[in-house]
């Protein structure tokens, strides 16, 4: 019988948790937020990622778990493709 590998648990930060952090008037830059997530020990982020997210997560060794919310099935193909284009390994819908 073939031995299977145990599942890998990844710790993923929901990117909205740093929105307007530390203040709404002077929020951290995108890179500062990503660096902080990495330094806190997370393996990646989840968000409706842009190319800027993709570039910075790759630079800092994090993964992207994509995200989208839509009630219109006609938008699904485009939203899924946007997530795939930025390297999302999984997509939270």
pTM higher than 0.75: yes
Looking at every residue in the chain, the average pLDDT score rounds to 93
Predicted confidence band at 58 (pLDDT cuts at 50, 70, 90)? very high
In this structure, are strands 63-67 and 12-14 parallel, antiparallel, or unpaired? unpaired
**Distance in angstroms (rounded) separating the CA atoms of residues 50 and 83:** 8
CA nearest neighbour of 90 among 34, 38, 46? 46
Q: Name the CATH topology of 12-92.
A: TIM Barrel (3.20.20)
Higher pLDDT, 59 or 4: 59
Q: What is the pLDDT of residue 76?
A: 96
**53 burial level (CB within 10 Å; 0-12, 13-18, 19+):** buried
pLDDT at 48 over 80: yes
């Amino acid at each position: 019988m073939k031995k299977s590998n145990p599942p890998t648990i990844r710790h993923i930060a929901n990117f909205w948790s740093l929105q307007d952090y530390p203040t709404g008037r002077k929020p951290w830059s995108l890179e500062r937020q990503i660096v902080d997530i990495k330094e806190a020990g997370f393996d990646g982020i989840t968000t409706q990622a842009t190319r800027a997210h993709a570039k910075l997560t790759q630079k800092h060794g994090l993964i992207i778990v994509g995200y989208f919310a839509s009630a219109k099935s006609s938008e699904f193909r485009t939203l899924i493709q946007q997530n795939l284009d930025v390297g999302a390994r999984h997509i939270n819908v």
